[in-house]
Amino acid sequence: MFEYSARPDLLQGRIIMVTGAGRGIGEAAAKAYAAHGATVLLLGKNEENLNRVYDDIEAAGHPRPAVIPFNLETALPHQYDELAAMVEGEFGHLDGLLHNAAIVGPRTPLEQLSGDNFMRVMQVNVSAMFMLTSTLLPLLKLSKDASVIFTSSSVGRKGRAYWGAYAVSKFATEGLMQVLADEVEDTAAVRANSVNPGATRTDMRAKAYPAENPAANPLPAEIMPVYLYLMGPDSAGVNGQALNAQ
Which residues are the active-site residues? Answer: 166
Give dist(CA 221, CA 110) in Å, integer: 34
Cα distance between the two ends of the chain: 4
Give dist(CA 246, CA 227) in Å, integer: 11
Phi/psi for 131 (5° steps) reads: -60, -45
